[in-house]
């Protein structure tokens, strides 16, 4: 209930101004966001890869309504990827891209602009030896995102995509994308969606996650199991045994600042664990989704505002 309110409020300009305008907000945001500049992101990459983790970096921003800003986001990724190239981390570092940040929301030409900008990012990533994974946003964007994915995979076959278990359609999408060479990041789903397209009950979302996970683990692709949920991690291990997958045949992914102890424990046990590192000044939408996922985060936020 509180989560739905926060997700709905996150789209209201007045709420955005109110939350962003509180000086102490920044302190709380820092728990989930690595900083504002590419240097901040690179610093987090150094720290986390030095601790035995792998990373995927997100330049924050979404629902861009301006073609210049969309091109600017692609440029920001190429600058970041230039810095990653110098670190020479190979597949230990990749980037995550929201297509709505690179033009998808720009009306009739949106898909074309997003594809052109995403292609520039893929070229820079290729030069840095890094992969690109497309984030999945609200349900109205799924067909468009999968269309752009198909087009990108023609030239950059390692391009991956996030699929959201809460969507009714995702089992079928998992089946379509469970072939050899495919990289799918399975997430529960973080947007406010109508009951006509998603499972709303938490237990139903978890069951749907397991069904999707089973399809991906049984298939020929590379599953990226993006969850902080212990039960789903245990089930992943059972499925890996059942389908004969060794540790290099799938990976875990978690968000920056969330369950860092678990990230280290899994990496210490020999798993590939990839941390999703967001950076940039357009942190609002991302931050509100993290608050919505866990009521305790709201209490933490309110305590920080109160100076405690
Ligand atoms: P769940 O929400 O049940 O959390 C399990 C446990 O993890 C909680 O009990 C708590 O301990 C901890 N936890 C989870 N969220 C927390 C938070 N915000 N703060 C503190 N603790 C928290 N979504 C989407 O719609 N599109 C996308 O492209 C992506 N991309 C993405 C990439 C990666 C790498 C991850 C890990 C997640 C995403 N997501 C996403 C977000 C995803 O849909 C989902 O909202 C979150 O991962 C939370 O779900 P869990 O699977 O962790 O389970």
Q: Is 185 a catalytic residue?
A: yes
Q: Which of 92, 158, 183, 185 is catalytic?
A: 185
Cβ–Cβ under 8 Å, residues 98 and 59 = no
What confidence tens digit (pLDDT) does each residue in 207-257 have? 999 999 999 999 999 999 999 999 999 999 999 999 999 999 999 999 999
Q: Is the CB of 58 within 6 Å of ligand 1?
A: no
The CA R_g of the chain, rounded to the nearest whole Å, is 18
> Does a structural domain hold residue 24?
no
Best CA proximity match to 71, nearest among 35, 34, 37, 119: 119
What confidence tens digit (pLDDT) does each residue in 262-304 have? 999 999 999 999 999 999 999 989 998 998 898 788 887 777 6
* DSSP code for 269: T
What ipTM does this complex have? 0.98
Distance CA 97, CA 55 (A): 13
> Does a structural domain hold residue 152?
yes
What confidence tens digit (pLDDT) does each residue in 7-29 have? 777 777 767 766 766 665 677 78
pTM for the structure as a whole: 0.95
Ligand 1 atom 47 nearest Cα? 227
Distance CA 134, CA 140 (A): 15
Cα(120) to centroid(ligand 1), Å: 29
Which range marks the domain in which residue 62 is found? 33-282
> Does a structural domain hold residue 14?
no
The structural domain count of the chain equals 1
**pLDDT category, 35, cuts 50, 70, 90?**
very high
> Does a structural domain hold residue 7?
no
Dmax of the chain from CA atoms? 52
Burial of 275 (0-12, 13-18, 19+ CB in 10 A): buried
User: Which atom from ligand 1 is nearest to the alpha carbon of 255?
Assistant: 36
User: Which atom from ligand 1 is nearest to the alpha carbon of 166?
Assistant: 43
What is the residue-averaged pLDDT of the chain?
93
Q: Is the CB of 256 within 6 Å of ligand 1?
A: no
pLDDT for 21 equals: 65
Q: Is the CB of 257 within 6 Å of ligand 1?
A: no
Cα(130) to centroid(ligand 1), Å: 24
Q: Which conformational region is residue 134 in: left (phi greater than 0), alpha (psi within -120 to 50 degrees), or beta?
A: beta
DSSP lists the bridge partners of residue 162 as 185
> Does a structural domain hold residue 260?
yes
Cα(127) to centroid(ligand 1), Å: 30
Q: Is 135 a catalytic residue?
A: yes
Which CATH number goes with the domain that contains 250? 3.20.20.220
> Does a structural domain hold residue 174?
yes
> Does a structural domain hold residue 172?
yes
């Amino acid at each position: 209930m509180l989560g739905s309110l926060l997700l709905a409020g996150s789209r209201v300009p007045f709420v955005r101004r109110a939350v962003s305008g509180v000086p102490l907000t920044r302190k709380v945001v820092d728990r989930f966001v690595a900083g504002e500049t590419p240097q901040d992101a690179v610093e987090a990459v150094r720290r986390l890869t030095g601790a035995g983790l792998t990373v995927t970096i997100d330049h924050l921003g979404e629902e861009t309504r301006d073609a210049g800003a969309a091109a600017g986001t692609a440029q920001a990724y190429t600058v970041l990827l230039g810095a990653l190239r110098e670190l020479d981390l190979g597949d230990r570092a990749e980037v995550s891209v929201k297509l709505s940040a690179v033009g998808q929301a720009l009306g009739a030409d949106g898909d074309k602009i997003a594809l052109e900008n995403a292609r520039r990012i893929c070229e820079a990533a290729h030069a840095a030896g890094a992969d690109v994974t497309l984030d999945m946003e609200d349900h109205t964007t799924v067909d468009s995102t999968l269309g752009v994915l198909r087009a990108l995979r023609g030239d950059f076959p390692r391009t991956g995509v996030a699929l959201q278990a809460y969507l009714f359609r995702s089992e079928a999408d998992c089946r379509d994308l469970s072939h050899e060479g495919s990289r799918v990041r399975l997430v529960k789903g973080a947007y406010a969606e109508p009951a006509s397209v998603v499972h709303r009950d938490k237990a139903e979302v978890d069951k749907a996650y397991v069904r999707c996970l089973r399809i991906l683990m049984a298939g020929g692709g590379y599953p990226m199991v993006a969850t902080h949920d212990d039960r789903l991690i245990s089930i992943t291990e059972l499925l890996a045994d059942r389908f004969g997958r060794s540790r290099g045949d799938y990976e875990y992914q978690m968000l920056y600042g969330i369950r860092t102890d678990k990230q280290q424990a899994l990496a210490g046990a020999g798993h590939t664990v990839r941390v999703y590192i967001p950076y940039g000044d357009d942190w609002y939408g991302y931050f509100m989704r993290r608050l919505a996922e866990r009521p305790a985060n709201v209490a933490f936020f309110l305590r920080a505002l109160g100076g405690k």
